[in-house]
Amino acid sequence: MKILHIDKNHPLMLAQLAAQGFENHEDYTSTKAEIEAKIANYDGIIIRSRFPIDKAFLNKATQLKFIGRVGAGLENIDVAYAESKGIELIAAPEGNRNAVGEHALGMLLSLLNKFKKANNEIRNGKWLREENRGWELDGKTVGIIGYGNMGKSFAKKLRGFDCQVICYDILPNKGDENARQVTLVDFFRQADVVSLHTPQTPQTAGMINEAFINSFAKSFWFLNTARGKSVITDDLVRALQSGKVLGAGLDVLEYEKASFEDFFSDKQMPEAFKYLLQADNVILTPHIAGWTLESKEKLAQTIVDKIINFSH
């Protein structure tokens, strides 16, 4: 079987697939149109997020048997159309779930203890103790929305703290020894911390909006290590300004696109984003929650194992 790799990954992937008899071809620079022109020659393709795998692409991929996506989500693939053509879709949420869980915990502890504010003040010659008195996680109720691989990983990391962990999921019977599943009504009533771990779907697009935020009985801290388009940033900023949201840790942003580098020009920077950049109680990271040295290897290994299992 011939596999086309269009994104670079951990070298173990090429080595192990070759050892299993697969023929690896690498093309990390051609345009989508150039890849489309030759994709009919391949049985499999390995991608991260270089370009979308849409109907036009899939119509050219007449021999394609599988798509390996080195990551957790499949939103850059037309899943329904690929499945209608009998193409196996292989993702690797197991590969970076530990990294995401640790990142979410790091963000939460940083927010509660005002690390960003205190660090910036010291760098500017201010030594303010009372103004940086924080909160303890013990005794709080942490609410997890979406209790799959990532949500479960975060809940597991919270076991060392004397806090309550609840989860809300659209599927029943998802709770386990680390999180008690509750109704959305109870979730709104109990949560002190809200951590989002849902995939990008039509149902999750814009779900964190003004009405959703105002449904909570208490002010809360908010974490998003899932997908940026699940949050209406303007609504989140208004909640931060009013105190309904006490602080936010955002690894992903509504504005994300294939190239984020040119986004930092004042001409096109939204006012809400300007607020996030200067807020003491907002921590931003560039979509790296699942992006560790260890997860790079684990993601690749997971995809390799699944490809081998699929082909045998």
Q: Which residues are catalytic?
A: 227, 256, 287
Please list the residues that pair with 23 across neighbouring strands.
Answer: 2
> How far apart, in whole angstroms, are the C-alpha atoms of residue 23 and residue 228?
36
Contact by Cβ (8 Å): 252, 227: yes
Contact by Cβ (8 Å): 249, 224: yes
Backbone angles phi, psi at 37, to 5 degrees: -65, -20
Contact by Cβ (8 Å): 235, 209: yes
CA atoms within 13 A on the CB side of 78: 13
Q: What share of the chain is helix, strand, coil (3-state, %, to 5)?
A: 40, 20, 40
CB atoms within 10 A of CB 215: 12
Tokens of 135: 């909160």
> How far apart, in whole angstroms, are the C-alpha atoms of residue 60 and residue 211?
43
Q: 170, 131, 174: which is closest to 149 by C-alpha?
A: 174
> How far apart, in whole angstroms, are the C-alpha atoms of residue 181 and residue 172?
8
Q: At what angle do helices 271-278 and 233-242 cross, to 10 degrees?
A: 50
Tokens of 209: 């909006």
CB atoms within 10 A of CB 278: 7
For tokens 């394609």, the residue is 64
